[in-house]
Amino acid sequence: MKIAVIEDDVFFQKFYSTRLTEQGFETLVASDGDEGLAMIRAQKPNMILLDIIMPKKNGFEVLEEMKKDPEISSIPVLVFSTLGQEDDVKRALSLGAKDYINKSFFDFSNLISKIKTIVK
């Protein structure tokens, strides 16, 4: 199963891709929203782990673009961001995200559990 990690922070990119690979997932990594959209369109991952605060296109813009594109609109997205205000969560979910995890309260086993629930 391929998981796209769209995250601008190099530490988090390496952490997620290493830990997800250890769990048996194939990971694809993009550093900004534009690169992420191109990668999603080319690679068609099984799911996306998406940050919100990124250069070029932020996570909300990525969700908006995905929603408009029937080729990628059905790929499940789990938002993983430091933005944790209720309005941010509601906005992401209204744009098609399946779930939202606040990085500030990160628990890797919870992340894996949510990934497995989403891709069932």
Look-up of token digits 């250069």: 55
**Residue 49 Cα to chain centre, angstroms:** 2
- CATH number of the domain where residue 46 is located: 3.40.50.2300
pLDDT tens sequence for the chain (120 residues): 999 999 999 988 998 899 999 999 999 999 999 999 999 999 999 999 999 999 999 999 999 999 999 999 999 999 988 776 788 889 999 999 999 888 766 677 878 888 888 877
pLDDT at position 113 is 83
Mapping DSSP to helix (H, G, I), strand (E, B) and coil, where does residue 119 land?
Answer: coil
User: In the chain, how many domains are there?
Assistant: 1
Domain containing residue 58: 2-118
pLDDT at position 74 is 95
Name the nearest CA neighbour of 59 among 116, 114, 104, 5.
5
Rounded to a whole number, what is the distance in angstroms from the first to the last CA of the chain? 11
pLDDT at position 84 is 64
pTM over 0.85: yes
Pair 55, 32: CB distance under 8 Å = yes
Pair 101, 30: CB distance under 8 Å = no
Average predicted confidence (pLDDT) for the chain: 91
